[in-house]
Amino acid sequence: MFRRVDLEGFEIEAVGRNVARVSYATSLQKKGVLISTTEHLLSAFIGIGLDNAVVELDNLELPILDGSAKPFVDLVLQAGLKQQRKKRSYLRILREFEVREGDKSIAAYPAAGYSVAYNIDFAPPIGAQSFEIDLSRDLYRKELAAARTFGFLREEQAMRNMGLIRGATEANVIVLTDTGVKNGPLRFADEFVRHKVLDLIGDLALLGRQVLGRIVADRAGHAMHTALVARMLRDRSLWEETTEAGETQSPAQRNGIPAHLAPQA
C-alpha cells in the first residue's frame, strides 16, 4: 500500500488494477492521484520476502537513490522484518501462456518455485544478454539488488523534453554512449539484463501475491510486464491461490521468513 502523506494520507494499493501509464517506469493511479516509479521498491520487497507494508511518501515519485534496489533492501533489513501469523498466499501458475508483441514476448510456465529469466538485445555497446534467477533461493541480495538502471546519452534530451528522467544523474543511472559506458565501472558484467530482471520482479509484485511459476521475458519492457499482470488477473483459469509454497523452499521460507533471517539449526 502506498500512502500520499502530502494528500491527506490518500492510499493507492500496489495491484494491477491501479497501473497507470507505463513507459520508462511503472506508475500507479487511483482517482487521479499518481505514484510513479514503483518497480525498484516493489522488487526489493519481493526479493527479501516482504509482502505486507505501508509506504508513505510526500510526492508523486519514489526516490531513485542509486538506481538499483539495494538501498531499499538495506534500509528495510536495517529496520527489521516481522513474521506474521497468517500464512503467505501464493499465486500458482497452472498452465503455460504468453503475451507477444512482434518479436517481443513474455511467458509464464508452471513450476515448483519462483524463477525469472530475461533476454535482451540492445544496440551496442550492450548487445545480447541473458540472465535467470531462482527466487526460491536466497539469491536476490547477492545477484540482483545492486543492478542499476541504464540509459543512452543520445536519448537524454528527448526524454527530458517529455518530462521523463528528471532525477537522472550519473550517480544513479548507467550512462551509455555509442562507444561504451560513460560512468563505469559496472557492478556486474551483465548489469543491464540483471536490472531488467529486477524491474520485472517489481512489476510482477502488482499481482498482489508472490508467484509460484517460471516467468520468461524476451526483449520485453514495463508495458509488457504489466500486460502479463493484467492478463493473469483477468483470467482466473491461469492460476490458483494457495498457501502451500514450492517444494524447493525451506520450511522457514514457506512460513514467510527469508533464508538469511531464518533460525539456524
- HSE, side-chain direction, 13 A CA sphere, residue 208: 13
Cα separation, 34 vs 26, in Å, equals 11
| Residue 222 known to be catalytic | yes
Is residue 29 a contact partner of residue 18, using CB atoms and an 8 Å limit? yes
Q: What angle do CA 46, 48, 52 make, to 5 degrees?
A: 60
> If DSSP codes are grouped into helix, strand and coil, which group holds residue 213?
strand
* CA neighbor of 245 nearest in space, from 224, 261, 259: 259
Among the options 195, 222, 225, 260, which is catalytic? 222
Is residue 239 a contact partner of residue 94, using CB atoms and an 8 Å limit? yes
DSSP H helices, 63-105, are: 70-79
Kindly list the catalytic residues. 222
